[in-house]
Amino acid sequence: MKDFTVKTAIDFELPPVFRGRHLIDGTWTESVETFERVSPSHGKVVSVSARGGEPETNAAVSAARRAFDAGVWSRLSGKERATVLLKVADLIEANVERIALFETLESGKPISQSRGEVGGAGDLWRYAASLARTSQGDSHNTLGEDMLGVVIKEPIGVVSIITPWNFPFWILSQKLPFALAAGCTVVVKPSEMTPSTTVMMGELLLEAGLPAGVCNIVLGYGQPVGSLMSSHPDVDMVTFTGSTGVGKLITEASATTLKKVALELGGKNPQVIFPDADLESAADAVTFGVYFNVGQCCNSSSRIIVHEDIAEQFVARVVELSRHVKFGDPLDPDTQVGAIVTPEHNAKIDGYVKGAVAEGAKVEIGGETLSVSGLGTQFYQPTVITNVTSDMAIARDEVFGPVLSVLTFRTLEEALALTNDSDFGLSAGVWSENIHNCLEFARRAQAGTVWTNTWMDGYPELAFGGVKQSGQGREIGSYGFEEFLEVKSLVMRVGRSRAPWVQTGE
């Protein structure tokens, strides 16, 4: 263990078990069955939630449909919708500690990260509120003296929102406020591994005065809840964040009704490092990019493509930094990297590492389960792997853990070829002091986001999403808001100048 910086268990009294219920048509609802969530870091039950099925899902969709058709939200002014969203933002910031604690207990992420994500989510709600008041269409006054054309935007209708376990509160806030700002009504299903903070969001929505039926929450599993939310004929759109495999299943389930589908899926995101880069900053960003959220992040920079001339020294620096990253008890405010979400996922990560070694790759650091005193073994060592070739599974698949694969290049063309040789296209990064290299890479990299001399900076104003098998559609920003709107053209004749089509001879 001397190679790693490990934060052992701190003395902390866990809160009472959280009891999660569905929110359907403004009413908190139980189910006959329940399910438990055991904290991945502490090994104790931290929440017990109602387990929904078809009856609860149908009731939630019906409530959302009635609310939308009645216009209790969709026909309000942008100012009225924005007022509620701004109240939610204030309430989020007033409840950061409570929400962040259960975010950490259910997901295993460090408490400092949970606080940042929950507190920062308020800014997403405020930005969405601004869009509710500024949405606009187009007018066409050039169609002739007797015609006027107007293009307006209307809420798409009932939206199913299905969120993942790795950023349960943040990703919900990338979707929900934008759908509400557009005037949609929604049904939300959080991951069964991290349901509680979504229920807490429901509490804040009611407190802020959101009308009954506008936001409904159903707790449970993908089968049958998520599947029915994707295929239900009264749902107009599905927005999902999660694995590419599940995204494909959702697309199939939605096909029977041809509803709109927005998907934010996996990534195998590269950072390309040129010899003229600020190597110290690049090494720190690479270390952050692969270990943030224990690598359980669609934006994880899980592979780096380093120029051959600097590869050895650069990898050595990343390995040294890896030794100083604080792994361990996520309730310790100093911890930077917490627990792996489930034992099964921990084993999956280890399988990728062992498979790479069998194919000839070399582990420079890590490569094993990490044991933390007082907390057990649901952790994984910071891992850096060299001698990786582009055909290896560890270079192509989304490992979703604290594992960095290292490839090398000699020319910009080769770096771009390696970058784009992937089924995914979520994010990419380039490090160079040569603006020409940065611009050419940014223009030619097949990715929804390209970072230059930085990694994972994001803002509510900037759209997020991927290409290829990383998904379709965009979240946040004005483009993410537009996903929840339909375009309608109004064609209006001025006066009675139209000649009759039927000639009666009179």
Max Cα-Cα span within the chain? 102
Predicted TM-score (pTM) of this structure: 0.97
The mean pLDDT value for 80-92 works out to 98
In a domain, residue 498? The reply is no
Q: Both 80 and 130 in a single domain?
A: yes
Q: Both 109 and 194 in a single domain?
A: yes
What's the CA gap between 124 and 319, in Å, rounded?
35
Predicted confidence band of residue 501 (pLDDT cuts 50, 70, 90): confident
With 0-12 CB in 10 A as exposed, 13-18 as middle and 19+ as buried, what is 34? middle
In a domain, residue 465? The reply is no
What's the CA gap between 278 and 34, in Å, rounded?
52
Backbone angles phi, psi at 240, to 5 degrees: -135, 140
**What CATH number has the domain bearing residue 150?**
3.40.605.10
Per-residue pLDDT at 247 exceeds 90:
yes
Quick: pLDDT tens for 467-491. Answer: 999 999 999 999 999 999 999 999 9
Q: Both 177 and 63 in a single domain?
A: yes
Quick: pLDDT tens for 413-470. Answer: 999 999 999 999 999 999 999 999 999 999 999 999 999 999 999 999 999 999 999 9
Note down the domain range covering 103: 11-265+470-489
Q: Both 377 and 481 in a single domain?
A: no
pLDDT of 108 reads: 97
- Find the catalytic residue in 106, 192, 264, 483: 264
CB < 8 Å & 24+ apart, contacts of 285-289: 285/429, 285/431, 285/454, 285/455, 286/318, 286/404, 286/455, 287/318, 287/321, 287/322, 287/325, 288/455, 288/456, 289/429, 289/455, 289/456
Q: Both 250 and 280 in a single domain?
A: no
User: 168-182 and 111-134 are packed helices; what angle lies between their axes, rounded to 10 degrees?
Assistant: 10
Quick: pLDDT tens for 90-139. Answer: 999 999 999 999 999 999 999 999 999 999 999 999 999 999 999 999 99
Total domains in the chain come to: 2
What's the CA gap between 469 and 466, in Å, rounded?
8
What's the CA gap between 258 and 284, in Å, rounded?
45
Q: Both 203 and 303 in a single domain?
A: no
Q: Both 230 and 337 in a single domain?
A: no
Backbone angles phi, psi at 48, to 5 degrees: -125, 125
Q: Both 256 and 280 in a single domain?
A: no
**Distances 310 to 229, 279, 317, 366, 432 between C-alpha atoms, Å:** 50, 9, 11, 22, 13
In a domain, residue 375? The reply is yes
Output b/e per residue, 456-475; b: 16+ Cβ within 10 A: beeebeebbbbebbbbbbbb
What's the CA gap between 237 and 160, in Å, rounded?
6
Output b/e per residue, 290-305; b: 16+ Cβ within 10 A: bbbbbbbbbbbbbbbb
- Find the catalytic residue in 184, 215, 298, 438: 298
Q: Both 444 and 480 in a single domain?
A: no
In a domain, residue 5? The reply is no
Q: Is 229 helix (H, G, I), strand (E, B) or coil?
A: helix
Strand order in the sheet with 147-155: 138-140, 147-155, 485-493
**Distances 266 to 68, 212, 298, 441, 447 between C-alpha atoms, Å:** 32, 34, 5, 21, 12
In a domain, residue 2? The reply is no
Q: Both 58 and 147 in a single domain?
A: yes
In a domain, residue 168? The reply is yes
pLDDT of 506 reads: 61
Quick: pLDDT tens for 380-419. Answer: 999 999 999 999 999 999 999 999 999 999 999 999 999 9
Which residues of 249-382 form beta strands (DSSP E)? 260-264, 270-273, 303-307, 326-328, 362-365, 369-372, 376-380
Quick: pLDDT tens for 182-202. Answer: 999 999 999 999 999 999 999
Q: Which residues contact 293 (CB under 8 A, 6 or more apart)?
A: 109, 113, 166, 167, 300
CB 466 within 8 A of CB 447: yes
Q: Both 50 and 174 in a single domain?
A: yes
**What CATH number has the domain bearing residue 358?**
3.40.309.10
Average pLDDT of the residues of the chain:
97
pLDDT of 1 reads: 44
| Catalytic residue flag (residue 297) | no
In a domain, residue 364? The reply is yes
Q: Which residues contact 416 (CB under 8 A, 6 or more apart)?
A: 441, 444, 445
| Catalytic residue flag (residue 215) | no
Per-residue pLDDT at 503 exceeds 90:
no
In a domain, residue 344? The reply is yes
Q: Both 215 and 323 in a single domain?
A: no
pLDDT of 3 reads: 81
Question: Which of 2, 51, 44 minimizes the C-alpha distance to 22?
Answer: 51
pLDDT of 473 reads: 97
